[in-house]
Amino acid sequence: MTPSGSTVSPDVSPAQAARADGVARVAVTGTRPVMLPEFTDARRLPTRPPEARDADFTAKFDAETLFYDAFIGTRGHIVLVGPPFLNLKPALAAATIVAHPSGATCSFTLRELDRHGQMHVAAPDGTRALTLTCALGTVTLTVQASEADIFAGRRVVFTQSRDNDLAWIQDWVRFSRDVHGADAVLIYDNASTLYTPGDLAEAVGDLAGIAAVRVVDWPFKFGPQGFDARSYWDSDFGQHGVWEHARRQFLEAAASVQVSDIDELTLTEDGRSLFEAVEASPFGLLRYEGRWVVGREGAMDDGRAAHRRHRDYAVVLRERPVKRFGILTVDGDRCPPKWSLVPSRIPDGAQWKVHSIGGYLPSRAVTRRFGYRHFREITNNWKYERTSAERFDPALHEVDDRLKAHFARVDWTS
């Protein structure tokens, strides 16, 4: 039987989908969103001043999604996750919520997080739907079952992706499987146009050694990004929604979780698995920075350029030492930290974010026992044009022997 809200893609073979306990090993699952136009004329209003909005800001801004999904959480509440409430918050705070089929009126709490909003509803067991009535209007939400059991006790590699080459995604999984011991995969497919979520699930399900695969069909807007590292990061709601939805719908019972993008591979200094290390860490969390892997002029001929893979690249930018706060020496070209964690050891009120865990003090620390490599050539240039091979310059570049040694540990064929 497939968990509530999940469907085994018709493109996924029975052999791939089968699991000994009767739960689908490979499946595509969707969300049950609540959209404002379904029941009200109100819309979410941006906080960014008009003079700081570029020409396509309005098209990218998610003004219409009230909730991405509603599901039974593992902590005794029904969880509704969505973009931040902003101007909608007063109406929601005064709402009445009735559970079905019991007809009970439910208490709830609102959580306004960084670029993200949640409603936690205390509803009776057996609740299948909620009717929310407020100044905005009245709407009924379908409640999905928790799918935390799918990843319970698993070491999960997790990401959001749009139109990344399926071969890149397979290699990303193979690397984490063979180097770190990942045995489960959770991918949010953000409206890919080059293939279906079923195609993606089949590609990952074909790989050996992976006990559970879920592809979440995530059609929501990513949102306008900021202008530089610090300015106007206020409207990119989509990825923040993915991170908290994954946490509360799928990953609460996982043994450990590694998060990275498809163009990122995490290396270890001493050969220890990242999952083993985070499970043994004092705070159940490790953060580590990255280095850019660049294309080298002449390294690939035109015939292979369309089939580039992570393992084709092993030249990195040399570290560029700079002083931070006038005291610490850091790499001036480093990539922002990524993280791995043990979900059960992260406080309920802390927020899973892209580069840190908000509201969790140990998240400030960065380890050098691990580090990731950010592959500049593994991209479809969705954000900006970044694929351009450089002439090797010993003053700027170096061959990453540690990366090459990690490549040698991977079975790229199964």
pLDDT the model gives residue 10: 45
Claim to verify: residue 238 and residue 386 sit in the same structural domain: yes
Per residue in 265-286, pLDDT (tens digit) is 999 999 999 999 999 999 999 9
If asked whether residues 227 and 177 sit together in one domain, one would say yes
Asked if the structure places residue 2 within a domain, the reply is no
Say how far apart CA 248 and CA 147 lie, in whole Å. 9
Query: Is 378 contained in some domain?
Result: yes
**Predicted local confidence at residue 283, as pLDDT:** 97
**In angstroms, rounded to a whole number, what is the distance separating the alpha carbons of residues 278 and 258?**
9
Domain count, the chain: 2
- H-helix or E-strand spanning residue 69: strand 69-72
- Residue pLDDT, tens place only, 1-28: 233 344 444 455 554 555 556 679 999 9
The one-letter amino acid at 24: A
Is 167 among the domain residues?
yes
pLDDT reported for residue 20: 55
154 & 55 share domain: no
Predicted local confidence at residue 281, as pLDDT: 97
Q: Quick one: 290 and 204 in the same domain? A: yes
Q: What is the torsion angle, in degrees rounded to the nearest 10, for the CA atoms of residue 396, residue 402, residue 403 and residue 409?
A: 170
Whether residues 152 and 237 fall in one domain: yes
What confidence score (pLDDT) does residue 127 get? 97
Last residue of a domain, one of 88, 115, 142: 142
Domain boundary among the residues 142, 176, 211 is at 142
Task: Give residue 8's pLDDT.
Answer: 45
Considering the domain architecture, whether residues 202 and 220 belong to the same structural domain is answered as yes
Q: Is residue 10 part of a domain?
A: no
Segment 343-348 long-range contacts (CB within 8 Å, at least 24 positions apart): 343/247, 343/251, 343/252, 343/253, 343/254, 343/256, 343/257, 344/252, 344/253, 344/284, 345/283, 345/284, 345/285, 346/284, 346/285, 348/75
Residues 257 and 328 reside in one and the same domain: yes
3-class SS at 152?
coil
- Structural domain including 136 reads 32-142
Q: Are residues 341 and 252 in the same domain?
A: yes
- Of the candidates 414, 374, 179, 355, the one whose C-alpha atom is nearest the C-alpha of residue 275 is 179
In a domain, 389, yes or no: yes
CA distance linking residue 251 with residue 74, whole number of Å:
10
Identify whether 15 is part of a domain: no
- Same domain? For 388 and 318 the reply is yes
CATH of the domain at 69: 2.60.40
My answer on whether 224 and 88 are in the same domain is no
- Name the 3-class secondary structure at 359: coil
Residues in the chain with pLDDT values less than 70: 1-22, 229, 296-306, 381-389
Q: Residue 83: what pLDDT?
A: 98
Domain for residue 23, yes or no?
no
In this structure, the answer to whether residues 111 and 183 fall within a common structural domain is no
Quick check: is 18 in a domain?
Answer: no
Choosing from 112, 142, 172, the residue where a domain stops is 142
- The CATH number that applies at residue 209 is 3.90.550
Question: Are 253 and 332 members of one domain?
Answer: yes
pLDDT of residue 392: 81
Looking only at the bridges linking them, the beta strands covering 26-29 and 34-35 are: unpaired
**Contact predicate 19/212, CB 8 Å:** yes
Counted residue by residue, the chain has a size of: 414
| Contact in structure between 53 and 95 (CB atoms under 8 Å) | no
